[in-house]
Amino acid sequence: MSATEHPTNTPDTANGATDARPRAALLARLLDPEQVIMFDGAMGTMLYARGVFINQCYDELVLRSPDLVREIHAAYVKAGAEVLETNTFGANRAKLTQYGLEGQVTAINTKAAQLAREAAGDHRLVSGAVGPLGVRLEPYGPTSKDEARGLFREQMLALKAGGADCFLLETFTDLEELEQAILAAREVDAGMPVIAQATVGPDLRTSFGASPEDIARVLDRWGVDVIGLNCSVGPQTILEAIERMAAVTTRKLSAQPNAGMPRDVGGRSMYMASPEYMATYARHLIQAGAKIVGGCCGTTPDHIKAMVEGVRPLAPRTRVIVAHDGTGAVRDEPVGRAQVPLDQRSRFGAKIANGQFVTSVEIVPPRGVDTVKLELDAAALHKAGVDAINVPDGPRAQSRMGAIATSLIIERHGIEAVTHYCCRDRNLLGMLSDLLGASALGLRNMLLITGDPPKMGPYPDATAVFDIDAIGLTNLVSKLNRGLDPGNNPIGEPTRFVVGVGVNPAAIDPAHELKRFHWKVEAGAEYAITQPVFDPAQLEYFLTSIDDVRIPIVAGIWPLVSARNAEFLANEVPGVTVPKEVLDRMRKANDKSKEHALAEGIAIARESLERVRGSVQGVQVSAPFGRIELALEVFG
């Protein structure tokens, strides 16, 4: 997501014609259910701040003071907004009649769209903003549904003529009125995207009593492209409502909260939520399922800029466009330095780059400060010829020695570490500091993961950060490998990380897991390690599904030690699937003796290893309960 300014109204082609291709690409992102898009903030708040009294018709300012409106649009462009809303929230015939402007519906809406289009250029979208009519519809008022639809259609025809790319129906409380606006939009242009946003109060209901679930289900049934909420309340309430909506619809969600609830300050209504506060909630909204975010009443370009910066790590797949350099040209984001070739970063990376089979053993860091066993195990694994030791980072949200410190201790003994690094415990700045320090200390092999939530562990009251997820973290490390920080600022010598990610061939939602894997590869992943594989057929099927984005895959293997161990993994460890056949084998062996169960577990692990050896580029064998001798038995 871009947080930088585009040239406004600058033609990209030699003859001065606009280039529709960037807009088409952005429209595709707008409709993609997983792509994050940033809208602008309040127009009325900005006009009021510039001395326009509230007793005036703000919509008419596009005709009376076009430069003022254009300047506000430009400020949101500079802040990083990707979609600009037209200044037409109340520009329907019913509301304009109150000002004696009913004859200027077409002129106002057309001009408003043109002004936004000028500011947006070819690299931003314009959404035609359409608000409620301000009248009651039948049976509670004198306006028929057909009349309402006609009033909406009149406004939307003018918005489309002026250059709007989509329709934004916002701040509706009456879903029946919203339905007429949706029908009008489809009559004007059945192909134009429609974003339909209702508004709720502190009780999470519209003034007509509709709940977030009601809103989502109805709008889903009516077939709008994006379902959302805006205005009325601050981000905390909107977040709760979005969480409830995400549970009942698969359509893309949008959220444009106010900058908190208005407070009376010296006789004026003020919105007190800071840009930093709005940025925090923008991240929360995206993580809750809203992929379109922006601001409503009280938000300013400063709020939008902070929100753009805050959510950028959550949108690693988007192309960044930066400001023109004075020549009118548009440049791509800085490319930084060339990455150090994979085979020159580490021994582990060299084997992966050369197509050789890699072996590793996973050892959980110690609970305390005693590292004697860790160091003895590291020396033994090095002597056994294992390529690397995998070091989990707070697995199952338990408190253990940090993965970076553990990895440094391991590498004293001649064997390389593969350092797991998770997003749970650190904000973006903390991650950046850790990674730069790890690189300076010589760590090279990374496995980037989102991390288990704290409620899984023995400290359920501990908080999680999750500024970014594994996809964003992969993007961050890939930038560091090109000598750039998250803001595309040069850091000098690039890092030399071998970038690995996790993948689960047995995920409960295979389509979602596959989609995330694609994004990780696109973000820069160079190899992947799977969750423990107990069903080789499942892994083989997964491998066929990633032929289009194949990177080296290292299979996770876990030697079971007992039936109880197998049942624990099957039922209490997220992301691990143990087939019934394996559980049955372990139970039968366990009935004979503990020794039989242990032998059976080793046998199952060996069988899995032999079956997948030809399909993957390596294995990671876990050392159950820290017993590395069991892991070495799997290698044979």
Q: Are 479 and 491 in contact (CB under 8 A)?
A: no
Q: Are 214 and 154 in contact (CB under 8 A)?
A: no
pLDDT tens profile 69-124:
999 999 999 999 999 999 999 999 999 999 999 999 999 999 999 999 999 999 99
The structure tokens listed for 619 are: 């294995």
CA 620 – CA 556 distance, rounded (Å): 5
pLDDT tens profile 429-482:
888 999 999 999 999 999 999 887 665 545 556 666 667 788 889 989 999 999
pTM for the model stands at 0.54
The Cα-based distances of 100 to 19, 56, 178, 582 in angstroms read 39, 12, 25, 78
Q: Would the annotation count 296 as a binding residue?
A: yes
Q: What angle do CA 513, 517, 518 make, to 5 degrees?
A: 120
**Contacts of the segment 46-54: beta carbons below 8 A, 24+ positions apart:** 46/72, 46/75, 46/300, 46/301, 47/72, 49/300
Per-residue pLDDT at 550: 84
Task: Report whether pLDDT(12) > 90.
Answer: no
Distance of CA 249 to the CA centre of its chain: 18
Lowest mean pLDDT among 231-240, 300-309, 367-376: 231-240
Residue by residue, DSSP assigns 194-223 as EEEEE---TTSS-TT---HHHHHHHHHHHT
Per-residue pLDDT at 7: 32
Distance of CA 464 to the CA centre of its chain: 16
Q: Are 501 and 518 in contact (CB under 8 A)?
A: no
Q: What angle do CA 466, 508, 618 make, to 5 degrees?
A: 80
Q: What is the dihedral of CA 615, 616, 617, 623, to 10 degrees?
A: -140
CATH architecture of 342-558: Alpha-Beta Barrel (3.20)
Residue by residue, DSSP assigns 255-297 as EE--SSSEEEETTEEEE---HHHHHHHHHHHHHHTEEEE---T
Q: Would the annotation count 297 as a binding residue?
A: yes
Residue by residue, DSSP assigns 581-605 as HHHHHHHHHHHH-HHHHHHHHHHHH
Q: Which of 477, 522, 528 is nearest to 502 (CA)?
A: 528
| Other residues' Cβ atoms within 10 Å of the Cβ of residue 427 | 13
Residue by residue, DSSP assigns 425-490 as T--HHHHHHHHHHHHHTT--EEEEE----GGGSS-TT-----SS-HHHHHHHHHHHTTTB-TTS-B
pLDDT tens profile 595-635:
999 999 999 999 999 999 999 999 999 998 899 999 999 99
pLDDT tens profile 351-363:
999 999 999 999 9
CA 240 – CA 229 distance, rounded (Å): 11
Q: Residue range 330-346: average pLDDT?
A: 75
Per-residue pLDDT at 314: 65
Split at pLDDT 50, 70, 90, the class of 16 is very low
Q: Which runs of E-coded beta strand occur in 486-567?
A: 498-503, 527-532, 553-557
Q: Are 222 and 234 in contact (CB under 8 A)?
A: no
CA 634 – CA 636 distance, rounded (Å): 5
Q: Are 421 and 392 in contact (CB under 8 A)?
A: no
CATH architecture of 22-315: Alpha-Beta Barrel (3.20)
Domain residue spans of the chain: 22-315, 342-558
Per-residue pLDDT at 461: 61
The structure tokens listed for 248 are: 């009942």
Q: Over pLDDT 90: what percentage of the chain? A: 65
Q: Would the annotation count 166 as a binding residue?
A: no
CA 361 – CA 386 distance, rounded (Å): 7
Per-residue pLDDT at 262: 58
Q: What is the chain's Cα-based Rg?
A: 28
Give me the amino acid identity at 442: G
